[in-house]
């Protein structure tokens, strides 16, 4: 059975003069889209594993691991770091971030654990000279602006909640949700009457507020919003494919089918899944 060292050696061979021309041409920049794609594919494969089909997750984690080894090989050639440095860095960080496991620290609950984690992250940033001045820093600085919007919203509200800036219950967020729906309806009506760019911008902003509120409902229910939406997307794909297959079986096409026909097949798909 191949080992991790075998994978590292394989990557070095691919990048060698006797290796693959395409692999040799890759850089940090050209690899970035592939790294993101592989991360998303691994994310989607989690749903497959949850449904009792772990093989896809195994394969996608392998693809993601290959990207990490690829980056480390490029870095080694540039004289910057090696895969061993990557392993050492994360190994040391995890020991440092878990003093309640590898040291003498104690924690009462997960809330205290997470507060300690954030404090350690901030201290590490200060030590590395990455921390902003006290006047310019924010609790939210650690949330990536490049993360998917649902994930960013979830992380922003999670951090704010840790210092008490949060709704008391999910019912309170539903009240906020209804408020945002009303504001969105008002904005839509205003835009329909004026069709101005300013009113269109307001519609977009109100829709964003609505999505942010929904994300907070997910957080209070301990549901990952990105995963929940992915699951809904998969469900839509299944049911729409059922519509297509049902129409083909009847000699019908999507273009010729009526909404009533498609809705009837959609309901059939729903009943099959129950």
Domain ranges of the chain: 4-97, 226-273
The candidate with the shortest Cα–Cα distance to 216, out of 128, 150, 120, is 150
The pLDDT assigned to 168 comes to 95
Structure tokens at 79: 């004289």
The candidate with the shortest Cα–Cα distance to 202, out of 182, 213, 188, is 188
Structure tokens at 255: 């273009």
Structure tokens at 29: 């920049």
Could you report the per-residue pLDDT of 153-211, keeping only the tens digit for each? 999 999 999 889 999 999 999 999 999 999 999 999 999 999 899 989 999 999 999 99
The pLDDT assigned to 235 comes to 94
The pLDDT assigned to 227 comes to 86
Give me the helices (H) in 162-258, please. Answer: 170-194, 197-220, 225-249
Q: What is the mean pLDDT of residues 59-66?
A: 98
pTM of the predicted structure, to 2 decimals? 0.66
- Distance (Å, rounded) from C-alpha 125 to C-alpha 131? 5
- Distance (Å, rounded) from C-alpha 32 to C-alpha 67? 9
Check whether 217 has a pLDDT greater than 80. Answer: yes
Could you report the per-residue pLDDT of 63-118, keeping only the tens digit for each? 999 999 999 999 999 999 999 999 999 999 999 999 999 999 898 998 888 888 88
- Domain 4-97 fold: Helix Hairpins (1.10.287)
- Distance (Å, rounded) from C-alpha 40 to C-alpha 71? 18
Torsions phi, psi for 138 (to 5 deg): -140, 145
The pLDDT assigned to 114 comes to 85
- Distance (Å, rounded) from C-alpha 98 to C-alpha 259? 57
What percent of the chain lies above the pLDDT cut of 90? 74
- Distance (Å, rounded) from C-alpha 203 to C-alpha 183? 9
The pLDDT assigned to 47 comes to 82
Contact 46, 227 (CB under 8 A): yes
Structure tokens at 84: 């061993």
Q: What is the mean pLDDT of residues 46-70?
A: 94
The pLDDT assigned to 11 comes to 98
Contact 71, 49 (CB under 8 A): no
Check whether 48 has a pLDDT greater than 80. Answer: yes
Could you report the per-residue pLDDT of 129-151, keeping only the tens digit for each? 765 555 667 888 888 888 889 99
The pLDDT assigned to 133 comes to 58
């Amino acid at each position: 059975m191949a080992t991790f060292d075998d994978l590292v050696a394989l990557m070095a061979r691919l990048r060698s003069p006797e290796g693959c021309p395409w692999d040799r041409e890759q850089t940090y920049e050209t690899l970035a889209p592939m790294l993101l794609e592989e991360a998303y594919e691994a994310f989607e494969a989690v749903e497959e594993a949850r449904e009792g089909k772990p093989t896809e997750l195994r394969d996608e984690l392998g693809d993601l691991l290959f990207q990490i080894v690829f980056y480390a090989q490029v870095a080694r050639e540039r004289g910057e770091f090696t895969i061993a440095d990557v392993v050492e860095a994360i190994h040391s960080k995890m020991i440092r971030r878990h003093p309640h496991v590898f040291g003498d620290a104690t924690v009462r609950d997960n809330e205290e654990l997470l507060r300690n984690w954030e404090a350690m992250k901030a201290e590490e940033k200060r030590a590395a000279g990455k921390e902003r001045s006290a006047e310019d820093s924010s609790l939210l600085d650690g949330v990536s602006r490049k993360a998917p919007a649902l994930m960013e919203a979830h992380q922003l509200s999670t951090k704010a909640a840790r210092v008490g800036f949060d709704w008391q219950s999910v019912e309170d967020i539903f009240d906020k949700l209804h408020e945002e729906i009303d504001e969105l309806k008002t904005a839509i009506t205003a835009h329909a009457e004026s069709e101005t760019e300013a009113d269109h911008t307001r519609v977009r902003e109100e829709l964003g507020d609505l999505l942010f509120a929904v994300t907070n409902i997910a957080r209070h229910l301990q549901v990952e919003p990105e995963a929940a939406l992915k699951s809904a997307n998969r469900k839509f794909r299944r049911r729409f494919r059922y519509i297509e297959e049902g129409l083909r079986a009847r000699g019908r096409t999507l273009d010729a089918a009526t909404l009533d026909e498609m809705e009837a097949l959609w309901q059939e798909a729903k009943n099959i899944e129950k």
